[in-house]
Amino acid sequence: MIILIKSKAEKLKLKMPDLLTRPVGRVMYESISDSVADIHNGETLVLDFGGIKVIDSSFIDEMIVRLILDSQSSERPFYMKLKNLSEIAELNIDLVFRSYSNYKNKKIVVITENICHNNAFFIGPLSDQERDIVEFLRVNKSITLDDAVDFAKRPGEKVRKLLEDLHAMRAIKKQDGAVFFAV
């Protein structure tokens, strides 16, 4: 499912090209949440920010963070990917994610369609080992647990936990418990 944020904002009569404040984030979240109600289990929701210049921390907290938390729900799990982010939007998202992760002691991350300023295809506070797995999957599309152990050069249980944690964050997809895929 692809949602064009600029089109959604126009339909909601929101002032653009900037999306700012908690109330605007809530309105956008509610509208997107209604659309996501029909998303299939395991499907990827792509949010296209083309034409949007600035999104502030309040908007990010009310819309993007809430959608990521929704995606992690066991009743309707889905994955998210962002694309066409402006430089300032990317920076603000990263700051909000890092702050959230520190405050809540729970990492949040989102995959991106385009390379980011962190020289990776994600935004959020991942460890070097988590980053390596996400980037490996972006290039190679899938990996088994055994192959991940060989790649990571770490004990099997540690790699299994790493993969499970990345899946719980919705940074990677999992199928049949032993095969992992790129979002």
Contact 63, 32 (CB under 8 A): yes
Say if residue 88's pLDDT is above 90.
Answer: yes
Cα 150 to Cα 10: distance, rounded to the nearest angstrom: 49
Instruction: Say how many C-beta atoms besides its own lie within 10 A of residue 177's C-beta.
Output: 9
**How would residue 37 be classed by pLDDT, with cut points 50, 70 and 90?**
confident
The token duo for 166 is 């990345």
pLDDT band of residue 76 (cuts 50, 70, 90) is confident
Q: What is the mean pLDDT of the chain?
A: 94
Locate the DSSP E strands across 73-171.
79-83, 110-112, 122-123, 142-144
pTM (2 decimals)? 0.93
Residue 84 identity (one-letter amino acid):
N
Domain spans of the chain?
1-124, 126-183
Residue 24, phi then psi, degrees to nearest 5: -65, -40
Residue with tokens 């984030």: 25
1-32: per-residue pLDDT in tens? 999 999 999 999 998 899 999 999 999 999 99
| pLDDT at residue 41, rounded to an integer | 87
Among 14-18, 133-137, 140-144, whose mean pLDDT is lowest? 14-18
Over range 96-103, report the average pLDDT. 95
Give the helix ranges, DSSP H, for 42-86: 57-60, 66-71
What local confidence, expressed as pLDDT, does residue 16 receive?
84
Average pLDDT over residues 77-86: 96
CATH of domain 126-183: 1.10.10.10
User: What's the confidence (pLDDT) of residue 129?
Assistant: 94
